[in-house]
Amino acid sequence: MLIGRIDGNSKKSIRSEIRYFDNDQNPVSRDRATWAVFREVDENGVLIFEAQGFID
């Protein structure tokens, strides 16, 4: 899942993405996922933020 937005402070474009995985670290659809990675990158692809978490 990709989401694009403009950062209100610097007017830079930021892309957010969420990737879903199963217990064996295979990419899966959201409804089959047991954990996910959320990332935000700037318009140059530089990582701004990343978080990982388990899905109940």
Q: Does residue 41 have a pLDDT over 80? A: yes
Residues 21-40: tens digit of each pLDDT: 999 999 999 999 999 999 99
Domain boundaries, the chain: 2-54
Euclidean distance between CA atoms 37 and 20, whole angstroms: 7
Euclidean distance between CA atoms 18 and 9, whole angstroms: 23
Q: Is the pTM of this model over 0.85?
A: no
**Contact criterion met (CB below 8 Å) for 20 and 52:** no
6 or 49, greater pLDDT: 49
